Amino acid sequence: MTGKILVNEQVVPNVHRLVLDAPMIARRAQPGQFIMIIPDAEGERVPFTLSDWDIEAGTITIYYQEAGVSTMKLTALKPGESVHVVVGPLGRPTKIEKHGTVLVGGGCYGLGAIYPLAKAFKEAGNKVIAMLEARTTYIVYNEERLSEVTDEIIVVTADGSRGVRGHIKDGMKVLSDRGEKIDHSHFVGCTFMMMLSAEATKPYGIPTIVSLNTLMVDGTGMCGVCRVLVDGNTKFACVDGPDFDGHMVNWDMVFARKRGYEGEENLAYQFHKCRVDGAISQNAKSQEAV
Amino acid sequence: MSKRRDGLTAKERMAIPRAKMPEQDAQARASNFEEVPLGLTPEQAMEESKRCLECRKQPCVHGCPVGVQIPEFLDLVGQGKFVEAARLIKETNILPAVTGRVCPQEDQCEGDCTLFKKYGGVSIGALERFVADYERNNSIVEIPPKPKPSGKKVAVIGSGPSGLTVAGDLILEGHEVTMFEALHEAGGVLVYGIPEFRLPKEIVKAEVNYLAKQGVDIQLHKVVGMSIAMNELLEEYDSVYIGVGAGLPTFMRIKGEELNGVFSANEYLTRANLMKGYLFPEYDSPLPPGKHTCVIGGGNVAMDAARVARRLGGESTIVYRRAREQLPARGEEVHHAEEEGIDFQLLTNPVRIIGQDGKVVGMECIRMELGEPDDSGRRRPIPIEGSNFEIECDQVVISIGAGPNPLLIQTMPDLEINRWGYIEVDKNNRTNIEKVWAGGDIVTGAATVILAMGAGRIAARSIQAYLTGQPQPGTEEQQEEAS
């Protein structure tokens, strides 16, 4: 059944891998696209980047972090149970071309999400270098799969516990110091990581694509909540993106709009947590509870 | 038409006062999402129906985009045959409970009623709603017997009013009908756009279920163009109907639109209606109440958004650049909005939205005056220089219309579209691509529920002719055959 959970496991602290039965989506999925999940009948529509799919098995894979009410609901679901709704694939696929040497960089959920990109760039005849950014060594994951589709993996940790110490820009320096010419780059991760990565590639003049992860409601171009300014033009991340030129994105606006519902997100998370913990009854209405 | 039994004279009919539908008290309803008009009683309905003069020329029927047999159904209401009346309406209009509520009757059937000017038209909308509600609430909705299978397959893209009509008409002809909906509930604008207090979602659900029970296969969360390619549909189905609506939000391109607290009407209403944001945090999608919400625009959608904002507890203002007489919204909606305490800033246009720390704190506006008529025939609003002023507000909802969503169309490079991106069709709503029809807002631009249904009906007739090898409606061949 579409939406049935096959795997829902924590791969490293607070990064979860979710494998869903979704043959229709798997069949049409392309690198760079996303899906939307509604965890339960009262849930929001939440976008997630497609990180893998298997047409024959009819499955799709996403990686996610528990960061709010929807992902908290997701972590509670067990194999055999189902998400309320899964829809996709959505968004424009990533433009895959032969550039020469391509750098794919990931952070947090992006370590999972860059896999289809790396694979596609590799299949298109590129030399593919994956750069995995993490705070520390024990939250690096997906290396084995990535090694199947890349020529090299560079690990960058903020605390220097493994690989290059620092961030993507420090990894870039290593590449440049050894004379590696990068023809194209693509980054997937939290907004901050993508912004810093785009800043890091700019001095080298490397064309840089980022996969934005804005708020969305419908995900089909209807509501406009995902609007971003790219080179001064309003674009919808859901239908014009999610890939954009990282050097042209107005990052201040991306950050500001992501925080648009911060207060409500906290409230929803706490309200749900209180219900789960039994601090308020399952059927409590907000008026009574808060 | 059978002879009327009540024996009233025209004079007696005209003497009957127009029924007044009871409504929820304005103050009470300004803080709840329950329906505003409460519906007629059976006695009121029977009495009101007797006002019909049974004009020979039936101006009301001509005023109806789908040609509901109005005098005949009114006669049945007068006899207390409510269920029969509902079924008679359904022969031409499959969603009477919906259209009875949201049709602009004052511009259509009721506006063309002989009584309209002097006495107020017969309350056709209220009566339509009454009989449809009566049938549904008494669980006497009858599923028509399954017709003989035709062996033909029809795909309907979009489950809004026009798609529902096409599906409803063609399932009765024995075709296999599959309806594709991108969102997680069927009904299109009826579920994401029109608020609960104007159209309870239970009614839409009942109408959709009625189609499902007849055998329409409703495929939710399937985005044609993404989840399924148009080519796949063309291979698998004998005909395809595109009824995807005008769902692309329009922004104003003024400063400050990127601020938090600025919504498209689509976002605002989708959060409220489809996502049940007014029940947050019982439902997870937030729709934070504004202290003061300014809604830009003067159509029905703007009224809906302003009335939602009011119900969430804040002050609510309509900002419209023309005068009251030009408000495109129905008189009834404007009236309801006013009753609920919504402020109207007319002849006023926003210049920029003012922000602080990424959030809306106000809006700079300019006063307008009306000049010469423009292309639409309405007098063109002209800014009055130096009349700028600021409104303090923390939310702005932009409700200045919608455009065609390109998601599906861009995957069909051969499809003929006009310069605004809407699909070009002939008088039978056929597109330039074999086997493909289109109708509703994706052809006309944002219009009304009943016009979309009318478009669906035209397409359904044409599809039926195509699938059965008959000449197309309105062609010479067809007219010869008919005579």
pLDDT at res. A174: 94
At A26, the pLDDT band (50, 70, 90 cuts) reads very high
> Cβ separation of A223 and B182 shorter than 8 Å?
no
Q: What is the CATH number of the domain that holds A178?
A: 3.40.50.80
> Cβ separation of A225 and B405 shorter than 8 Å?
no
B69 at A interface, C-beta within 8 A: no
Mean pLDDT throughout A232-255?
Answer: 94
> Cβ separation of A218 and B270 shorter than 8 Å?
yes
**Is the domain of A115 the same as that of A233?**
yes
pLDDT at res. B1: 46
Mean pLDDT throughout B35-64?
Answer: 92
Cβ partners under 8 Å of residue B209, min gap 6: none
**Is the domain of A31 the same as that of A61?**
yes
B251 at A interface, C-beta within 8 A: yes
Q: Considering only the top CATH level, what class is B251-400? A: alpha beta
Residue after which a domain boundary falls, among A25, A56, A90: A90
Nearest to A90, CA basis, from A144, A118, A149, A49: A49
> Cβ separation of A217 and B407 shorter than 8 Å?
no
Cβ partners under 8 Å of residue A35, min gap 6: A22, A25, A47, A48, A50, A60, A62, A86, A87, A88, A89, A90
pLDDT at res. B78: 92
A22 to chain B: closest CA residue: B227
Residue after which a domain boundary falls, among A70, A90, A110: A90
Among all chains, which residue has been given the structure tokens 């005068």? B323
Residue to mutate among B257, B269, B285, with most A CBs inside 10 A, is B285
Q: Within a domain: residue A279?
A: no
Which residues of B194-246 form beta strands (DSSP E)? 217-219, 239-242
B183 at A interface, C-beta within 8 A: yes
> Cβ separation of A28 and B283 shorter than 8 Å?
no
Mean pLDDT throughout A90-94?
Answer: 96
pLDDT at res. B159: 97
pLDDT at res. A284: 61
- List % helix, strand, coil for chain A (3-state, nearest 5): 30, 30, 40
Residue to mutate among A36, A84, A218, with most B CBs inside 10 A, is A218
The rounded distance, in Å, linking the Cα atoms of B177 and A15 is 43
Q: Considering only the top CATH level, what class is B153-247+404-482? A: alpha beta
Classify burial at B200, counting beta carbons within 10 Å of its beta carbon; exposed 0-12, middle 13-18, buried 19 or more.
middle
Query: Quick check: B466 and B239 in contact, CB under 8 A?
Result: yes
> Cβ separation of A286 and B183 shorter than 8 Å?
no
Taking the CA of residue A129 and the nearest CA in chain B, the distance in Å comes to: 30
Interface list for A 60-79 with B (CB within 8 A)? 69-70
Q: Is the pLDDT of residue B82 over 90?
A: yes
Tokens representing B178 are 């599959």
> Cβ separation of B184 and A218 shorter than 8 Å?
no
Q: Is the pLDDT of residue B406 over 90?
A: no
Show residues of chain B in contact with A265, CB under 8 Å.
Answer: 286
Q: B201 or A289, which is more confident? A: B201
At A261, the pLDDT band (50, 70, 90 cuts) reads confident
At A288, the pLDDT band (50, 70, 90 cuts) reads very low
**Is the domain of A20 the same as that of A150?**
no
- pLDDT per position as a tens digit, B267-322: 999 999 999 999 888 899 999 899 999 999 999 999 999 999 999 999 999 999 99
Show residues of chain B in contact with A263, CB under 8 Å.
Answer: 288
Q: Within a domain: residue A268?
A: no
Q: 3-class DSSP state for residue B396?
A: strand
At A287, the pLDDT band (50, 70, 90 cuts) reads low
B229 to chain A: closest CA residue: A28
Q: Is the pLDDT of residue B25 over 50?
A: yes
Cβ partners under 8 Å of residue B129, min gap 6: B39, B40, B96, B97, B100, B101
CA distances from B170 to B34, B167, B185, B437, B461 (A): 34, 5, 21, 13, 8
Query: Quick check: A153 and A130 in contact, CB under 8 A?
Result: yes
pLDDT at res. A282: 64
Tokens representing A227 are 């609007």
**Is the domain of A169 the same as that of A215?**
yes
Bridge partners (DSSP) listed for residue B219: B180
Q: Within a domain: residue A41?
A: yes
Interface list for A 241-260 with B (CB within 8 A)? 253, 256-257, 259-260
Among all chains, which residue has been given the structure tokens 């947050």? B280
Domain boundaries, chain B: 10-137, 153-247+404-482, 251-400
The domain B10-137 is placed in CATH, from the list 1.10.10.10, 3.40.50.2000, 1.10.1060.10, 3.40.50.2300, at 1.10.1060.10
pLDDT at res. B9: 87
Show residues of chain A in contact with B285, CB under 8 Å.
Answer: 44-45, 217
Cβ partners under 8 Å of residue A8, min gap 6: A16, A17, A18, A19, A74, A75, A77, A78, A79
Interface list for B 344-383 with A (CB within 8 A)? 358
The rounded distance, in Å, linking the Cα atoms of A158 and A180 is 22
User: Structural domain tally of chain A?
Assistant: 2
**Domain, as residue range, for A215:** 101-258
Q: Which helix (H) or strand (E) holds B179?
A: strand B176-180
Tokens representing B87 are 């079924």
The rounded distance, in Å, linking the Cα atoms of B236 and B346 is 52
Closest Cβ opposite residue B223 in set A85, A87, A264? A87
Q: Is the pLDDT of residue B142 over 80?
A: no
The rounded distance, in Å, linking the Cα atoms of A130 and A122 is 11
Q: Within a domain: residue A263?
A: no
The rounded distance, in Å, linking the Cα atoms of A180 and A177 is 8
What DSSP designation does B317 have? E
pLDDT at res. B124: 95
Q: Is the pLDDT of residue A178 over 70?
A: yes
pLDDT at res. A129: 96
pLDDT at res. B144: 84
Q: What is the DSSP string of A230-254?
A: ETTEEEETTTT-SEEETTTB-HHHH
Across chain B, mean pLDDT equals 92
Residue to mutate among B31, B205, B226, with most A CBs inside 10 A, is B226
Q: Is the pLDDT of residue A280 over 80?
A: no
- pLDDT per position as a tens digit, B221-265: 999 999 999 999 999 999 999 999 998 999 999 999 999 999 999
Residue after which a domain boundary falls, among A60, A90, A120: A90
A92 at B interface, C-beta within 8 A: no
**Is the domain of A86 the same as that of A111?**
no
**Is the domain of A121 the same as that of A239?**
yes
The rounded distance, in Å, linking the Cα atoms of A185 and A208 is 5
Across chain A, mean pLDDT equals 92
Mean pLDDT throughout B418-444?
Answer: 95
Show residues of chain B in contact with A38, CB under 8 Å.
Answer: 184
Q: With b meaning 16 or more CB within 10 Å and e meaning fewer, what string describes A34-68?
A: bbbbbbbebbbbbbbbbbbbeeeebbbbbbbebeb
Q: Is the pLDDT of residue B480 over 80?
A: no
The rounded distance, in Å, linking the Cα atoms of B12 and B22 is 24
Q: Within a domain: residue A95?
A: no
Mean pLDDT throughout A153-176?
Answer: 93
pLDDT at res. A259: 87
Q: Within a domain: residue A254?
A: yes
B159 at A interface, C-beta within 8 A: no
How many other C-beta atoms can be found within 10 angstroms of the C-beta atom of residue A277? 8
* Ramachandran angles phi, psi of B326, nearest 5°: -95, -5
Q: Is the pLDDT of residue B139 over 80?
A: no
% chain A with pLDDT above 90 = 85
Show residues of chain A in contact with B249, CB under 8 Å.
Answer: 222-224
Taking the CA of residue B5 and the nearest CA in chain A, the distance in Å comes to: 52
pLDDT at res. B3: 55
**Is the domain of A79 the same as that of A212?**
no
Q: A247 or B377, which is more confident? A: A247
The rounded distance, in Å, linking the Cα atoms of B130 and B138 is 12
Classify burial at A174, counting beta carbons within 10 Å of its beta carbon; exposed 0-12, middle 13-18, buried 19 or more.
middle
**Is the domain of A151 the same as that of A188?**
yes
Taking the CA of residue B297 and the nearest CA in chain A, the distance in Å comes to: 17
pLDDT at res. B333: 92
- pLDDT per position as a tens digit, B440-450: 999 999 888 88
Taking the CA of residue B182 and the nearest CA in chain A, the distance in Å comes to: 8
pLDDT at res. A286: 56
> Cβ separation of B267 and A86 shorter than 8 Å?
no
Tokens representing A256 are 């500001």
Among all chains, which residue has been given the structure tokens 């997100």? A265
- pLDDT per position as a tens digit, B342-380: 999 999 999 999 999 889 999 999 999 999 888 878 888
- pLDDT per position as a tens digit, A45-72: 999 999 999 999 999 999 999 988 999 9
- pLDDT per position as a tens digit, B149-178: 999 999 999 999 999 999 999 999 999 999
Q: Is the pLDDT of residue B411 over 50?
A: yes
Q: With b meaning 16 or more CB within 10 Å and e meaning fewer, what string describes B271-282?
A: bbbbbbbbbbbb
**Is the domain of A12 the same as that of A113?**
no
**Is the domain of A107 the same as that of A251?**
yes
Residue to mutate among B284, B287, B409, B411, with most A CBs inside 10 A, is B284
In total, the C-beta contacts within 8 angstroms joining chain A to chain B are 127
Show residues of chain B in contact with A285, CB under 8 Å.
Answer: 282
Dihedral angle sign, alpha carbons of residues A121, A123, A125, A127: positive
ipTM score of the complex?
Answer: 0.92
Show residues of chain B in contact with A70, CB under 8 Å.
Answer: 284
Q: Where are the alpha helices (DSSP H) in chain A?
A: 23-28, 69-75, 110-113, 115-123, 143-149, 168-177, 191-201, 251-258, 262-277, 286-289
**Is the domain of A121 the same as that of A70?**
no
> Cβ separation of A261 and B288 shorter than 8 Å?
yes
Q: What is the CATH number of the domain that holds A69?
A: 2.40.30.10
Q: Is there a common fold for B153-247+404-482 and B251-400?
A: yes
**Is the domain of A55 the same as that of A190?**
no
pLDDT at res. A271: 86
Taking the CA of residue A117 and the nearest CA in chain B, the distance in Å comes to: 19
Q: Is the pLDDT of residue B412 over 90?
A: yes
Interface list for B 288-347 with A (CB within 8 A)? 288
Q: What is the DSSP string of B104-168?
A: -GGGTHHHHSTTHHHH----HHHHHHHHHHHHHHTT-PPPPPPPPP-S-EEEEE--SHHHHHHHH
